[in-house]
Amino acid sequence: MRVPAGKFLIVAVCACILCGGSGNSRAQEKDRAMPHASAGAPADDGMKMLETGAIAPEFSIKDAAGATFNLSEQRGRKPVLLFFWSMFCEKCRFEMPIVQKIHARYKDAGLEVVAVTVDGEPLKKSIVGFVKQEGYTFKILIDELDSSESFKAADPFGVFGTPTIYLIDRTGKIALARAGHVKEEELEKAVQAVLKR
């Protein structure tokens, strides 16, 4: 089913509003980043982040090259760092270099880093251009709406804003769940622990 571009534009505008405006310095923006949401805590709209220890929901969506990515294929093989983001989210731009560093350090150790954009297929060219310009080498997925107009990946994970990070262990359980800024040291420590299991 082809989703009208207008629906994705509405989602993109909402993502921009959720992530804040522009014009702040890096330090100010970092300080005003989305507060840490506790896993399991409902957002204003009732959406609830998955808790640590929960089984990650399955999803199947396309990457930026058009190939299908199935989260279930990673179970039993690799831990997955799942990063939900939007091009319109300034806070995401602060997190993405951290995600890239983690990817570069741990890809050979077996970590699969996957960034899921909620911007939609109509913005694919811009997404690909942004990723290339910034030099990000992790896998980029473009979330899609299902027949009920829910995101196939973001909604089952309870993503109510960007950036949102989930670390999933080899068994498919959530090892870390964070909305907003996550410190590089905290993320790296969690990744190291998951890789040892």
Are the C-beta atoms of residues 83 and 95 closer than 8 Å to each other?
yes
Backbone torsions φ then ψ of 141, nearest 5 degrees: -110, 150
Domains of the chain: 5-196 (3.40.30.10)
Tell me the two tokens of residue 26.
């890096």
Half-sphere exposure of 196 (CA within 13 A, CB side): 6
pLDDT of residue 47: 72
Count of beta carbons in the 10 Å neighbourhood of residue 86: 27
Cβ neighbors of 51 (< 8 A, separation 6 or more) are 39, 40, 174, 177
pLDDT of residue 45: 55
Listed residue (49, 53, 57, 72) closest to 174, CA to CA: 53
pLDDT of residue 100: 97
DSSP letter at 178? E
pLDDT of residue 40: 43
Are the C-beta atoms of residues 145 and 151 closer than 8 Å to each other?
yes
Are the C-beta atoms of residues 54 and 173 closer than 8 Å to each other?
yes
Distance (Å, rounded) from C-alpha 86 to C-alpha 151?
Answer: 14
Q: What is the pLDDT along the chain (197 residues), one digit of tens a residue?
A: 444 444 444 444 444 444 444 333 333 333 333 333 444 444 445 678 899 999 999 999 999 999 999 999 988 899 999 999 999 999 999 999 999 999 999 999 999 999 999 999 999 999 999 999 999 999 999 999 998 999 999 999 999 999 999 999 999 999 999 999 999 999 999 999 999 98
Cβ neighbors of 114 (< 8 A, separation 6 or more) are 69, 80, 81, 82, 83, 138, 139, 141
pLDDT of residue 187: 96
pLDDT of residue 42: 42
